[in-house]
Chains A and B, each alone.
Chain A
Amino acid sequence: MDCWNLRRELGAYLEGEASPELVAHLEHCRYCQSIVEDLRSIERAAPEIAETFEPRPALWKRVENAAYAEGLVRERPFSGWLHDLAREWLPLPAPALAAAYLVVLLIAGVIIGFRTGAPPLPPQRASIPQSGTQVDIAAQLTNAEQTMLAEMEKSNPEASQVYRDNLATVNYYIDLCQRTLDQDPGNPDVRNSLEQAYTGKSDLLNAMLDPDEMGSR
């Protein structure tokens, strides 16, 4: 029995249905053992992402209005367990993404200014960037993020890892929104989602600049 032919059976092994030949093979084949370990790592990690993405608060308002218009609920706010469900939907901040609702490029400007000595970007620049400016600011922002994370890593590795993970998630969501917007540039909901994502990113950057203040919110 060779490793290549065993590939189909590894799934059965993970389900606890392996043949004696496969069990015997796995006892001495370090390569197949490592494959099984990888597949188990994926299996372990997958449930942890079930609740990754936060819908923007406006979505709940949309749902509420639609339910009300359809006569599915008689009054607002909802009562009983529906009220609990509705309250749960409201934009309560997740611990590591505590709300600070500053605009991301203003924060970016502060960071860039902090790093370079240049003055912060004026508030009127605080919108979703367009054209070539976007590339420059995005590059500087990425650089600032990495520098801040590296510095935090020295003083507080645990917090640094939390921020690193959450920034990665927010950046991924921004990327996803941007790609959706590229397909449908006129869609205001997607644009709002993108703005929300940038706002989420500003929360994180703000928290990194002033963790004590964020902790007290």
Chain B
Amino acid sequence: MHRRRVYSLCLRMTSNTAEAEDLTQEAFLQLFRKIATFRGESAFSTWLHRLSVNVVLMHLRRKGLPVTSLEEASEPDEEEGPKKDFGGPDNLLAGSVDRVNLERAIERLPRGYRMVFILHDVEGYEHNEIAEMLDCSIGNSKSQLHKARLKMRDLLHESRGGGTARY
């Protein structure tokens, strides 16, 4: 469970199997190095996963890759305006989302959106925790998550051959 969870997190955040392996190794080495500091205030899995997130974020920052983006925090689709008629239902996903299409869509998200989406929707962190991890405001975390989900919906619709689902 832990191994898959940590490796999946690293792979999803980097989209690179070699980097994911290196980061998984680093996460578990950090675990061994820091185990003495584990106070049992949270579940062990919570502690390990948080440590893994920090390893990945530190790696991305060291590479000079922003984990949040001010540009992405703006309204990327705003100037494009509504793209379709309103009024009728447009339930694109029919209540179910195929996991492979979900993975592909996550991979195609802009990095800033991807980080927040993975941390909140996949890993289950709260906005205040994400704001602390990414060094951004809670509002920014919420805003990016919402835009990430809208973008995901768009990408999932594309994967079903339906073109763009943007408003």
Instruction: Enumerate chain A interface residues (CB-CB to B < 8 A).
Output: 2-4, 7-8, 10-12, 14-15, 29-31, 33-35, 37-39, 41-56, 59-60, 62-63, 66-67, 70, 72-73, 81-82, 85, 88-89, 165, 168-169, 171-172, 176-177, 180, 183-184, 187, 189-190, 193
Contacts and interface: CB of A to CB of B under 8 A. Distances in A.
Contacts of B8: 49-53
A42 B121 contact: yes
Given A63-B28, A88-B3, A189-B21, A37 B95 contact: yes
A180 B4 contact: no
Contacts of A82: 32, 35
B7 interface: yes
B24 interface: yes
A47 B146 contact: no
7 A-B pairs with the lowest CB-CB distances in the bound complex, closest first: A11-B146, A46-B121, A45-B97, A34-B91, A72-B32, A55-B7, A51-B4
Q: Which of A29, A56, A89 has the most CB of B within 10 A?
A: A89
Contacts of B3: 54-55, 60, 88-89
Nearest to B11: A53
Interface string B31-51: 011010000000010000000
Interface residues of B, number: 61
Nearest to A59: B21
A177 B147 CA distance: 29
B102 A46 contact: yes
Interface in B81-105: 81-82, 86-100, 102-104
B158 interface: no
A49 B99 contact: yes
B145 interface: yes
Interface string B1-22: 1111101110100011110110
Interface stretch (B53-61, B129-137, B149-157): B149-157
Contacts of B100: 165, 168-169, 171-172
B29 A39 contact: no
Given A4-B82, A47-B121, A34 B17 contact: no
A177 B17 CA distance: 6
A123 B109 CA distance: 41
